[in-house]
Amino acid sequence: MEPPLDSVASVQAKLNMLTAVEEELAGRVQAIATTKELLDGLLAAGLPPFKTFAMQQRQQNLASGFETLELMCAEYKQVLHAAMAHQEKLEETRLTIAKRTEALNRWFEDTSEYLTEAFDLVTAADAEAQLAELGEFKGKLGEKGAKVASVSFYAAEGDILGVTSNPYSRFTTAQIEGSLAQCEEEMHARQGRLEEARESMIAIDGKKKEFAAAAETVVLFLRGEKQALEASTPLITISADAPESLKRGYQMVEGLKEYAAASDNRKAQLVAAQTLSDALFTAGELDNPYTRESMASLKSQLDLLEQLVHDKQMFVESQLSAADVELSPEQKAEAGRAFHHFDKSGDGFLNEDEFTAAIKSMDFENPDSEMHEFFEANSRAEGEKTIIDIDAFTRFLGQQYKSKDTMDGLVEAFKIVSNGKDAVAPEQVSEILPEGEASFLLSKLEKDELAFMPFANHVYGAQPS
């Protein structure tokens, strides 16, 4: 079976063989011409024609056959040249397809890596920039699509020309078309991810702005609360000699207690900011360019406000403690008996006349104006009546007991009992005071290891002269 003319080499081999045949044929043709000259010479010499007839006939048959061979060689040469042109065209097509598929495959591989890589976005503007970049890339992908179409055209032309394989290329046009389709799919997927990321970042950015606004609301609220607190509870000096300051002190303490009890209402102001903060934390968004505040800073500011309330309350209560004189059990009992004796209505309150009568019954000779002033400062309206409770009544008595004494006198008394020492012994106190008063005094002295100076300072709120 003749090998097919399916390559330039195979056609060239046939052409080489044909050239050899032509050269052989040319030699044989020359021999025939020489034979004819010899026959013509014999005839010219007088050899009878019948003697050379057979030779002449054979010579003519050979000449005719060689002419036929020459025609056949010429025709076959044309066939081989056509086949050579065909194979050269195929080679050109194969090389063109190979070059283009190699270049396209490299581009598609690089592009696929770019399209599938993770993107690092900080803001929605970053996503917009990458979407714009992807828009420019679409144009480049369109250009590559046109080149793939060109490769497909050449491949189709090759099919028409008889291309069944391409030894110069690692890829078929079908594979390149598949790579193009894959890149288009990856491009659309990347675009979808970028658009989703952009929308997410826009939402996150909105939450950051909302948190900043919520934080500012909290800051303004706390600032207003602090200003109102400072205005309602200014620094005051409480003195036992200034009944109005005592009344104001107790009012401030009650107000501060009520304010402290409403701490949950102030915590509620942080709920909106906390919800937004939690959402941002879940999303991994810890930086907020719209505010310097965080939940930690807001809670710290709230804690500082609550601490201020506590400190103010402690400060006022310490002044009240220093200003008030704590009565002994016997003194409290005496005050209670007087109070309830003059509480004619039995409702736990005294009007001004009852208050004045109760004080005088205990042998305190206070001017009526002083008692009136204290009553006005410490009483409250109850319907048409103005009344005072037992706590205020006891405070007034404490002031009276205190006014009868001085710190120097108290310290001097302790030194006499303790024989000049800074602390007294329980038996020394029991010798000079009734059992109830002795127990009361010792209970106050025990926390200072029976030293009497801290007790005296507490009672009088000052150092001895």
pLDDT given for residue 463 in this prediction: 47
pLDDT of 152 above 90: no
Q: Which residue has the higher pLDDT, 85 or 31?
A: 85
Q: Which residue has the higher pLDDT, 278 or 168?
A: 278
pLDDT given for residue 464 in this prediction: 42
- Are the C-beta atoms of residues 334 and 342 closer than 8 Å to each other? no
| C-beta neighbour count of 461 within 10 angstroms | 19
- Are the C-beta atoms of residues 238 and 320 closer than 8 Å to each other? yes
- Burial class from Cβ neighbours inside 10 Å (0-12, 13-18, 19+) for residue 101 reads buried
**What DSSP character marks residue 348?**
S
Buried b (16+ CB within 10 A) or exposed e, 207-241: bbebbbebbeebbebbeebeeebeeebeeeebbbe
Tell me the C-alpha distance between 145 and 345, whole Å.
106
- Are the C-beta atoms of residues 402 and 460 closer than 8 Å to each other? yes
Radius of gyration (C-alpha) of the chain in whole angstroms: 61
pLDDT given for residue 436 in this prediction: 64
Quick one: tokens of 98?
A: 């190979």
Least confident of 58-62, 251-255, 454-458: 454-458
Q: Which residue has the higher pLDDT, 141 or 55?
A: 141
pLDDT of 362 above 90: no
- Burial class from Cβ neighbours inside 10 Å (0-12, 13-18, 19+) for residue 446 reads exposed
pLDDT given for residue 446 in this prediction: 66
Least confident of 285-294, 313-322, 429-438: 429-438
pLDDT of 389 above 80: yes
Share of the chain above pLDDT 70, in %: 85
- Are the C-beta atoms of residues 112 and 186 closer than 8 Å to each other? yes
Quick one: tokens of 256?
A: 């501060």
Tell me the C-alpha distance between 450 and 452, whole Å.
6
pLDDT digits (tens, 9 = 90+) for 177-222: 899 999 999 999 999 999 999 999 899 999 999 999 999 999 999 9
Paired strand residues for 66: none
Q: Which residue has the higher pLDDT, 44 or 226?
A: 226
pLDDT of 459 above 60: no
Paired strand residues for 380: 387
Kindly report the average pLDDT of the chain as a whole number. 83
Task: Provide the residue ranges of all domains of the chain, joining segments of one domain with +.
Answer: 8-192, 233-320, 325-393, 405-465
pLDDT given for residue 156 in this prediction: 74
Phi, psi of 452 (to 5 degrees): -95, -15
pLDDT of 465 above 50: no
Residue 407: partners with Cβ closer than 8 Å, 6 or more residues away: 456, 457, 459, 460, 462, 463, 464, 465
CATH number assigned to the domain with residue range 8-192, chosen from the 4 options 1.10.3210.10, 1.10.10.10, 3.30.420.40, 1.20.58.60:
1.20.58.60
Paired strand residues for 382: 385
pLDDT digits (tens, 9 = 90+) for 263-281: 999 999 999 999 999 999 9
Least confident of 166-170, 208-212, 403-407, 444-448: 403-407
Q: pTM above 0.85? A: no
Q: Which residue has the higher pLDDT, 431 or 307?
A: 307
pLDDT given for residue 438 in this prediction: 67
**Mean pLDDT to the nearest integer, 433-447:** 68
**Mean pLDDT to the nearest integer, 242-271:** 87
Tell me the C-alpha distance between 128 and 122, whole Å.
11
pLDDT digits (tens, 9 = 90+) for 109-138: 999 998 999 888 878 888 999 999 999 989
Share of the chain above pLDDT 90, in %: 28
**Mean pLDDT to the nearest integer, 371-379:** 82
∠ CA 402-403-409, nearest 5°, is 75
Quick one: tokens of 347?
A: 């409702």
pLDDT given for residue 162 in this prediction: 59
pLDDT of 168 above 60: yes
| Residue 268 CA to its chain's centroid (Å) | 24
CATH number assigned to the domain with residue range 325-393, chosen from the 4 options 3.40.1360.10, 1.10.238.10, 3.40.50.2000, 3.90.550.10:
1.10.238.10
Tell me the C-alpha distance between 319 and 309, whole Å.
16
The reply to whether domains 8-192 and 405-465 share a CATH topology is no
**Mean pLDDT to the nearest integer, 49-73:** 82
The domain 405-465 having CATH identifier 1.10.238: the answer here is yes
- 422 pLDDT band (50/70/90 cuts)? confident
Quick one: tokens of 215?
A: 């934080």
pLDDT of 17 above 50: yes
Q: Which of 363, 356, 359, 375 is nearest to 244 (CA)?
A: 375
pLDDT given for residue 132 in this prediction: 92
Q: Which residue has the higher pLDDT, 47 or 101?
A: 101
pLDDT given for residue 405 in this prediction: 52
pLDDT digits (tens, 9 = 90+) for 325-341: 566 677 788 888 888 99
Q: Which residue has the higher pLDDT, 421 or 163?
A: 421
